Structure formats: C-alpha cells, structure tokens
A and B are shown apart, each in its own frame.
Chain A
C-alpha cells in the first residue's frame, strides 16, 4: 500500500497585484486587482514505503507548494492527499508525530542554545522515550560527525553544521516520512556529501520514505531511484532516473584520442565538437545514429582511445524544463 497518495491536487493562490510607484499604492487602497496563480495544477502520484523520490522542477514549478500540502501547512484548492492514512491539513497529532519537513533555508533549532537543548525539547514535544532518544541521537551525531558540537550554541555553528543539527532534530522522532526541501542548499561539497550519505544510510536501515527537492543533481543521482519532474504545476515526468536519459537525451558524448596526436579535419560531419584539446576531442553525436557513425569514424581514423557517454543529467533535465515550460506558455493565466 502506498504511503503517499495524491490525486488531482491543485493549489491556486490569489495574489494582490500592485502597480509600481506611489500612485499604484494609492490606487490599490481603493480598488485591488488580484490575479490567480496556479502553483500546482492537477498532479497525481503515489509513493511506496521506503522509496526515495527526487522532486525536480525549475524555481516556481510548485515543488515547495506540494511539500507544504503534504505536510499540512496549506490547504489545496482541489484534489485529495492521503499520507499514512491521514489528511495532512487536519494536522492531527498522530500524523504530526510520524513525519518531518526539513527546509534548507528555514531553521527550527533555538538560535542561542546548544542543539542538545533543542533535541531535549523535541523529545518532550514528540513524546519520544528515553532509550529511543539516546539511540537515535547517538547514531546520528556519529554518522554526521557532530557529536562534539551538540553542546555549543547553535549560532556559533557553521551553516553545514547547523544543517546537520536540523537534520538530526528532524529525525529524532523516527518519522516514517521525511520531506526535504533543498536540504543541501548553500553547503560546501564536504557537508553536502556528508548529509547525502547520512540520508542514504538512514533510508537503508530504517526504511524511511523520502521525498526531496534539490537544485543539485548530485543529490538526486546519489539518493533517488525515481524522479518526478514538474513544471508550471504540472507533472512532466514520473519514473526511474534512468528514464530521464533514455527518453529525453537526444545525443551521446563521444570522447576520442588520436594516435598521432593530431586531430583530423572534417570531424564536424560526425557531430558537434564540444571540446577540442589535442590529442583529445569530444563530440556530441546524435543518439539514434551514434553506433553507425562512430564505427565509420573509427574505421577512417587511427584512434587510440574511445568512450561513449550519456550527456550530464543536468543538461537533459534543464532541456525537459525548457521544453515543458514552452509547451505550456500558451495556457493563459486566469485574471480576475
């Protein structure tokens, strides 16, 4: 049975539109103009226990709005959501004890106190028994290498350390579902890797279900088997990560190294040259014809080394964003 079920989910915001300048402000006092923004425009999906799903989309695509609806912070305009059998926006304590929402740009810890104090508070708020509290706290502080920092005031910690503390606080009550919104934003590479590994490890051991948004494709590649891509509030793709490449990548990247160190002329007939660094050259070749074209190339030139790769996933994903955005640009935004 799915732990998260979403059908026909919609969220329409009514935003106040103000014209620029003083005159606009005065006018707004008497007659307000509103426009409606379709942040989420009818999406459906289901997530099974233990899945780690990456939620992708450009800024303003509706990812955070969806996470907020799943965590009960906002009501949808239409549609149904069931998480662990609960309707999130009823905000029952029994539901709130079973999930956590971690936002990379928001903090929940007490700024002036050591993280250990905030952890204690969480223990009381979530009614976590002492044994479990000690176990989880011990396990996570070790995994994230912050055991010696829990007694320092949070304001003295670096961003990365603080984020690790936030993550521990979010996991203390052993949630069944963890929603993550940009958990690694602004962190250095080491801290990013650390958090990523902790999440993967934690998922393996505890069968927790995770849904995460991130702008770093490495996060998604390292953690998620499945991705959902939304743009302008609509689901563009929902499937295994490998599908993104299989279905949307139009070309392959072929790297060649020539025996005599010279790069022969006329390579542009085979594909676009993306990098030219003798004796190496990188070509972008059409995916459909790459096999025949490459073998022709190999038979005509003396090549010492040869690899064929998929293009970087970022590239494919941003193409999906661009194309899906373009398709829907015609859909008019309702004004009232």
Chain B
C-alpha cells in the first residue's frame, strides 16, 4: 500500500482533484431497467403451418427458420439415419444438383442448412427472394441421391471411429444408454452396422412421413415487415399439402434403485470424465420448471455455483464442474459432470455427492436464491438482444402448450419463487442415492478407488457391458500358453516341417475385391506380400536379403531397421516356433474377453522394441487375435489343417487407417511347395 501512495502522490499534484469514489463497497445500482418483450406477429395457413414474424431492422438481413414438431423416433437397426438426413436433403433437388445448390447459396453469401426436424436459411435482405427460392426448392423437391448417401455413410462411419477415442463422446454414449436404455430413442447407439443398413428408401420414407406443414413452425426474423412476410409465405408455402403424421409413445425409464458405478477403460486418459446422472421428467410446462432452474443454478449452473466453487476454486480438481437439469417433452436427465484430475477421481466423485446430499438436507440460503434469481433474470434479459429469441418464445408457447403470458410473466414468476419451494424441489428431484456414477478414464488407476461408491460395472467405448471373466483357474504362464498353442495346431514337430507357404486371400470393400497374395519362405528368409485392388497392384512388400522394401503407386522405399524387424515377425508361418530363438521376450498380461471368448493375452517384444499382443483362447489354445500399433487388430476365425498343421483361413483386419473391418477369406493356401525365383522379385 505504501508503494502505491508513492506512485499516486506525484500524479495528484498534476491533476485536478477528482471526486473520490468509495472503493470499500459496491456502488449502488441505478433503477432496474424495464425489460420489454417485443411482439411476434403470427398467423396460420390453411395447411396448418404456423408462422411467426419478428421485425428488427437493426441489420439488413433476414432469417427463415422452419421446424417440425414430431415425437422422438426409435431408429433401431437404422440408427444414425436421422443424423445424416439433414445433409441428405441438401444433396440436390429436381432443379439443382448439389453442386449447383452449394454454388448458388455461397454466391450470395447466404446460409442454408437442414436437420431431420428443421430447415434454416438466412441472407442479406437484398437476397431474401433468392434464398427463399432455394430453401423451398430443398423443402419440396429433394432427390436424395444414392451417391450422396454413400458419401455420408462413409463420413458417419469415419466420425464414429473418431468418437471411440474421444472421452466426452464415450461418456455421452454411456450416460444416454444407462439413463434411457439402448432400446429408447434417447439411448440407442449407432454402430457401423446400423449406419451401413440405411437406404435411400428409408430417407425418402422419413421425408414423406414427417416433412408436413401441419407439424411445422416457420419463424421469419429480421429486416422485414409483417405484410411483406405474409405475402412471401403465401407465395411459397400455401400450396404445401398437409397430411396426418404418426405419433409415438415410449416408456419413461426410472433411475437405478441404488448407486451404480459404470466405468469405461480408456488407457490413454490423463484425466477422468466423470458424469453423475439419472433420468427424470421435467419440461417447460411443468409446475416445478422454474424452481428446478433455480435449484440447478445454485448447485452447479455457473461459475459461482457450489460445484464450481468447491471442485475448482477450492480443490483445484478440475477446470470446471457443472450440473444440469434438462427440460424435454418426453424425459430428460439430471447430470453433474467434470473432467477431473486422475489421481483425484474418487475425491471428486465424493465432493459431487456431498454437494448433492447437502443440497437435499440443508437446502439453499436466501442469499443464494436472490443471486440465482438475478442471474437467471440477467440471462433472460441478455437473450433478448437477439431478435430470434422473441420468435422462439412465440413458437415454444404454442409447441409446449404454455400459457399465453408465459414469457411475459417469466421474470415475475421467477422472482416469486421462495426458499421453501426450492428446498422442496431439492428433496423431490435430487437423488444422491439413486445415481449412475459414470467415469471414462484409465481403469488401472481409478477402478479400485471407485469401488467405494457402489458396484463397478465396466462398459466398452460403445456403451455395451464388458463381460466378466472368472480367472481363478486360468493361470498359465506366457511360455505355457505358447506351448499350448503349438500343441493345439498339431504339435511342434509337424509345425517345424512347414517351410514355405503361398496364400491368396480376398476381402470385399464396398463391392470391390481386395486381394492379398503372400509368399513366405522361411529357409531363404523371404516374405513377399502383394495387395491388389480390383486386379491392380496397390502395394508390394518384399523382405529379402536382410532388407525390406515397400513399393506402390510408382514409389519405392526401403524400410528402417525397426520396421524391418517388425515385418520379419510376419515372415514366419508359425511365428510362435521362433520366439525363443529370435530373442523375443514374452510377458503374460492377464486374461481378456475377445468377442465373447476368453483368452490369454501375451505380449511379444522383438529385439528393437516392437510389441505385439497375441490372444490365445483358454479353451482351444488357438490364437484368436493379435494387435500392434502398425497393422492394427487381426481377429482369426476358422482354422484348417495343412500337412497336419492348423492355419487360419478367415481373418478380419481392423487397421487404424481403415475404420471398418476388412474380412479376409483364404482362397488358396499351399504349404511346402517350391517357390520360383520370379515369384519373389
């Protein structure tokens, strides 16, 4: 403080003396400003389309947004269709190819986008006729081209693959599946198979069923008068024909009868994504809507709420901790979540539960409630800055059957809520003893610590339960596992007699054949592997004379030592015979589930550090899977005998470069046949 005075002193001499402000307390606020809700003009067309117009001339632009209000849809074996519908409908019209459509939208600097329940268009005022023409062309004349569907499926499958490594996406899938069940529209999971199953007919059928004016709401917002909007709407939407739309209902899921812990192992995680959640019923028109908004705000709605102040500002466990109580016509959920320090995972879960329990037992203070009201009023006020808010208020009022003055009296009703009402809501809606405690993180580090909160069930990154394995009788060492394998395929003696193998196998890639031809010659230490796509050679790998070369597409490359060593592991027809002599080290790594089959996992490390994990069935002794960072995952199916030795004739490859499995079948396999010199060049 002294130092500051020294700074200020000379300044004071130079300046006119200012009226001193009192820094010890907050200034008194001015009188609260009137919050004025603008009006939306509205009318309904004969076909049932409800239209809302909000004029706002601040900027020379106009937006048209059309939404369809339908019941949720259970997609089952076509899960993922609704997600790609929006892009499908933008895939071209009877009047415009997709290229033309894209070009016309971009050329006027406008935007036009769609989802399974909406169409949204916006542009500068001067281009409003053009953008409406494009929007209605998409609405009435979509062609849903097959090639567009193929493209979108490919993208969806690639996106799904990416989501399997994203801790937040994994957490989202898991909590949805737990809260609503996988047989519920809000809980079902799209997979490679369900995406592949989508057809153009499915898309058309959806469009024909649900894109109807009688379930539509059209909002027009911006630099436009009601009269102008009305004449535009008549011109573009009047002849759209109405049709009855099916309704659907679903059972309302209940939460768990006691706390359950659900864990997804993501070994690469350096943090744990925690989400404490359970389903509940709440919607805008519910009598407890307002009280639950306030309750949640105080618990974890913002950066001054209890969860944030405790887990972040006090403990430093996380960058941010929040909670939410959703709002949905059908069913929604409570959620309290954070990405937390791995070592503090259990402490963080504990604090979450403590805060929820404390809220139930002790409720909120008057001061907290006043602050929460001010905050929610403030965000209500700020939302009015955007003219589209008024339009959504008008639409929600109709859509959810709200009282006409719902938004006009919003602030009044908010301010009327009492501490007792919030505390009653806390007891009714917060259920600290009936929650799913979900965690996505490194199971090795966190699984044990989570057991104190309830029974821990493990799930896959696709939210399917992981199978439990009884390991008490499965105690073979790594060398024993290898011996059992060699015994299972026909014995060491028989296996050692196989010196060469020529294999041709093929897989189907979206209607085209991918062929792999390989020659293994152990005596001369040669491996040749050729990959052919529709008969054309795509790549060729040759390991010979102590070096390895990969060529393809006119280029050729000699591989560095580590990759040579790695490839060498594939030169052996039965590599397990050579692990010892080649100086590979073996390590046992427990018992795992491989697609429903129990297997020993053995880690094999070559002299340059390259590592492969092999899985050997505990029942048959056969190798059923192997994985490494270069090839990816190979799953072995059926084996057949060749000269008394079982070799795999079906194998599926999941490469990091190809996000769907390639299922190879052996077309030809011959062992101990002569290899010509030409074949290995």
Is B truly associated with A?
Answer: no
Interface residues of B (CB under 8 A from A): none
